[in-house]
Amino acid sequence: MASISSSNKSVTVREMLPVLSASTVGTAIEWYDFFLYNFFAATIFGKLFFPNLDPITGILASFTTYYIGFIARPIGGAFFGWFGDRVGRKSTLVSTLLLMGIATCLMGLTPVYTQVGIFAPLVITILRFLQGAGVGGEWGGSVLLSLEYGDNRRRGFWASWPQTGVPVGLALAAIVYLIIQAFFPAGSQAFLNIGWRIPFFFSAILIIVGLIIRLRILDTPAFTNLKEGNRLARDPLTSVIRHSWKEIILTALLRSGEQAPFYLFTTFVLSYGVTTLKININYLYTGIIVAAVISFVFMPTASMLSDRIGRKRWYQFGTILMAVFAFPFFLLLQTTNPVAVVFSMAFAIGICHAWIYGPQAAFIAEHFGTKVRYSGSSLGYQLASLTAGGPAPILATLLIAQYHSYVAIAIYIIVMAAISFAATLGLSEFAAKEAQADVDEPDTYAVPSEA
């Protein structure tokens, strides 16, 4: 079990391993659940829950229920962020894992439209909302678990490990999908009846594993020190909005050039590739899996480099790279050549996205004081779900339907990357320095904890 130590004291990988395991494994499980829905929303949920609509409208309706999860993410971030700053990081993370797991398992039991009519999309939408709320509370706690146990010198590196839960969850969801397809061919009646449900039931096993790992970890040193000193914020959500509203807005905008492209690369590309380009869906899932492996390696590498050369400078280079690769990504897809398709997805997700997503965790979290860090970082991170991640596949589908060309979507990616670059200019540099909590915490946060 990890011991409590100061962030100024250098820690080893061996000391951090239990903490990194608890944060990364739990995050990977939650993202597996979240991405699983995304995959089915892009492929078959239109047929199952909106069968009376034409194919394009059905996809849009499916993506709209998908967007509900993104609407719920900042709500979950605010709700669980408050508890994370008042009750503790660990207990809040256990709650988010349970919420996500239960909602996902229930999705596997949800009746389809032909069985219960309009109630089918209503139920799946409610469960999607609960999924989003769980993810909204998960990210901040997982990142803080690693960041607040780690040392200042390698803050970016330590905080990046929960980020690797994204490619792990992404790859796991893609692999399970392909395995199920091997037994229940896509489009077959068996797949539509029972095959698609099995991956959701599989989540129950993963949740048990995640809970066992997380329950063995103590709360973070930073939170424990605040609690023992009776210095917890009485209302962290109100306090962080009042005193750090600028940082919340900028960190939300910071994610534009990462969040929107990511869901284009992993969700929209499935419907676009199969419906418009007639690419074999197995090639697309292979590209996702290869990209996830590369991303898992490159995220901590990129974050380690950001500790050395500065978070802002590294992030700015990443947004430029994302903008530059926008047109090549679609040009490679247009060839429909399997190698070109896999390479385009591997580079877009494994390099362009990982470049900025890995260091992003520390870049956001270190801008908020310890007493409000869960609330502040969760809000900053999750608000981008409303403005960038959630709308991206919907906007892309509308753009394709309107212009019958990828050009507008590539320009959209470039605009999002430019917004991220501009947001970095208003944020401070904390790489290899003490975070905001240690150098400039407003006195108004220092209110006694409730008995």
Among residues 133, 140, 101, the alpha carbon closest in space to that of 23 is found at 140
Per-residue model confidence (pLDDT) at position 31: 87
Q: Which region holds residue 278: left if phi is over 0, alpha if psi is between -120 and 50, else beta?
A: left
Range of the domain at 419: 13-215+233-432
Q: DSSP assignment of 278-308, as one string?
A: ---HHHHHHHHHHHHHHHHHHHHHHHHHHHH
Does 337 score more than 80 pLDDT?
yes
Whether residue 451 is contained in a domain is answered as no
What pLDDT, on a 0 to 100 scale, did the predictor assign at position 157?
A: 95
In a domain, 79, yes or no: yes
Per-residue pLDDT reduced to its tens digit, 94-104? 999 899 889 99
Query: pLDDT class for 440, splitting at 50, 70, 90?
Result: very low
Whole-number Å distance between alpha carbons of 413 and 264: 9
Residue 197 corresponds to which tokens in the numbers above? 């449900």
423 assigned to some structural domain? yes
Q: Does some domain include residue 280? A: yes
b/e for 418-443, b at 16 or more Cβ within 10 A? bbbbbbbeebeebbeeebbbbeebee
| Domains held by the chain: number | 1
Q: 219-262, pLDDT tens digit by residue?
A: 888 888 888 888 888 899 999 999 899 999 999 999 999 999 99
pLDDT, one tens digit per residue, over 127-179 is 989 988 998 999 998 999 999 998 888 999 999 999 999 999 999 988 998 89
Whole-model pTM over 0.85: yes
What is the per-residue pLDDT for 8?
60
Tell whether the model's pLDDT for residue 312 goes beyond 60: yes
Going by the DSSP 8-state scheme, the letter that residue 148 receives in this structure is: T
61/397: higher pLDDT: 397
Q: Is 220 within a domain?
A: no
In a domain, 47, yes or no: yes
Is there a contact between 292 and 168 (Cβ–Cβ < 8 Å)? Answer: yes
Statement: residue 414 has pLDDT above 50: yes
Residue 442's pLDDT is: 46
Determine contact, residues 384/252, Cβ cutoff 8 Å: yes
DSSP 8-class letter at 268:
I
CA 27 to chain centre: 9
Q: Kindly report the average pLDDT of the chain as a whole number.
A: 88
Indicate whether 446 belongs to any domain: no
Least Cα distance to 329 among 315, 341, 320 occurs for 341
Q: What percent of the chain has pLDDT over 90?
A: 55
d(CA 62, CA 315): 33
HSE-up of 131 (CA within 13 Å, CB side)?
29
Are 157 and 307 a contacting pair, CB within 8 Å? yes
Calpha distance 342→269 (Å, rounded): 12
Instruction: Say yes or no to pLDDT of 447 above 50.
Output: no
| Residue 194 placed within a domain | yes
Q: Are the C-beta atoms of residues 25 and 60 closer than 8 Å to each other?
A: no
Query: 200, 105 in Cβ contact below 8 A?
Result: yes
DSSP-assigned letter for residue 352: I
CATH value at residue 151: 1.20.1250.20
First to last CA, the chain: 28
